Amino acid sequence: MSRINPEAQRRLHSQESRVSSRGEARSNRARAKWMRRGGWDYWAARALLVACTGAVSYTLGPFGLRGLGAASVGLVMALAVLLAELRLREAALSGLLGGAIGTVLGVFAALLVTLVISRTDGPEATKSFLEFAALFAFGYLGLVLGSRRGAELHVDGLEGFFGKKFARGESVKLLDTSVLIDGRIADICDAQFLEGILAVPQFVLHELQMVADSSDSLKRQRGRRGLEVLQRMQKMPQVELRVSEEDIPRAGDVDHKLIELARRMGAKIVTNDFNLNKVATVQGLSVLNVNQLAHALKPAVLPGEAMRVLILREGKEANQGVAYLDDGTMVVVDGARRMINRSVDVIVTSVHQTTAGKMIFGRLEERTEQAAPALRQAAAAGRGEGSGSARFDATSRVEPGTRGSEQGAPERQARPIFPEPEAE
């Protein structure tokens, strides 16, 4: 069981508390900013509208009402206007423009019908009913059909007139959270392979901030990496990076918001998310996938080509060696089992594409195969010479002693060990 140093534990808790305090401070600042921008002035305007409508209705007394009854009619009308404002402020500019055009066309159609009805013989009450019914019916149909078909209108010029940041003709690419966390988009931009405007929607930036403020250390590290990649891209002089303030409240999650925003702006989506790529492609949007780009940039290898690889380990089959290219492609080399941890020249024999990726099969080049036995013979010869010299040294060390013993042998034989007594 692992134990954590109390000092390290105290530092860890202090870091987490600082992260949570920073997240709370950011949320408080965002809430205060919303109150300053969209809170007090709008609520004051709405209160003024309700008060003015109630006062005018109380003074004029419509429908023969007096006092509180007349004021109630004004308040009901003001509430209807406020509900319409809450509904219309979430609509796109194309929908508003289409609804307005449809309503005008419906009123003109009702006017033509009214002219026809006025020339007919009939009771005045019936003709008045038909005229009002035609006005309401054609006006409603024009509003609904115009707002539904408004997405087909080209309103780029009007969006620029109303303060749209991205003008018509600009190539805009929306960055997803996954591509910022991945980080390779910064290298692509540094190599100047992306042109046009790179836009980061506000909801994508908010999601990246939520990941960076997560209690999970892995998610927090990924979120901070995404923010660092974004800061790095902002410092590149050749990259035009913007933050889009436009939001899609009715779209739901971030992926649907990104798809809807790309459809409205006519932009491309830059992502690594497989599901987002498929959904956006099905809906007819252009998607730039960094993983597909990396797969397309892998070098094409044909049978018969030569390459030099480093054999790292043994293969599954007998006498096989395995190497890897810089992009991770596996190279299986026949007859290279004895060449582990060596760089060898290989001739490609076949290339197979599998679900896991590309596999290259090859064999050792002829000069490599011829050089291997020569190296083994040289190594064997070196070992043989070393053993022979050792034997020669041992013999040379023994021979002097042997010769000395042979020369001294007659002297020892001439001396009697037990001398005989002299004869008297």
Q: What is the pLDDT of residues 137-152, one digit of tens each?
A: 888 888 888 877 776 6
Rounded distance, CA 294 to CA 301, Å?
16
The pairing of strands 172-175 and 268-271 is parallel
pLDDT of 374 reads 52
Nearest to 287 by CA among 302, 303, 301, 272: 272
Contact (Cβ atoms closer than 8 angstroms) between residue 110 and residue 162: no
Which residues neighbour 382 within 8 Å (Cβ) at sequence distance 6 or greater? none
How high is the mean pLDDT of the chain? 75
329 and 288 Cβ atoms separated by less than 8 Å = no
CA nearest 96: which of 148, 136, 139?
Answer: 148
State pLDDT tens for residues 220-254: 999 999 999 999 998 998 888 888 887 777 767 88
Tokens, residue 159: 């969006």
Percent pLDDT > 90 in the chain is 14
Report the pLDDT value the prediction gives residue 39, as an integer from 0 to 100: 57
Rounded Cα distance, 203 and 241, in Å: 16
Q: Please state the rounded mean pLDDT for residues 299-327.
A: 87
Q: Which of 11-15, 26-30, 277-281 has the highest mean pLDDT?
A: 277-281
Task: Measure the CA–CA gap between 202 and 180, rounded to whole angstroms.
Answer: 14
Higher pLDDT among residues 105 and 91, named by residue: 105
Q: What's the full length of the chain, in residues?
A: 424
pLDDT mean over 374-380:
54
pLDDT in tens, 75-99: 888 888 888 877 777 677 777 788 8
What is the reported pTM?
0.45
| Residue pLDDT, tens place only, 151-167 | 666 555 454 444 445 54
**How confident is the model at residue 124, as a pLDDT?**
83
Q: For position 413, what pLDDT does the model report?
A: 45
Beginning with the edge strand found earlier in the chain, give each strand of the sheet holding 287-289 in spatial order: 240-244, 197-201, 172-175, 268-271, 287-289
What pLDDT shows up at residue 269? 93
Checking DSSP bridges between strand 268-271 and strand 287-289, what pairing results, if any? parallel
pLDDT score recorded for residue 362: 92
Measured CA to CA, the distance from residue 328 to residue 347 in angstroms comes to 18
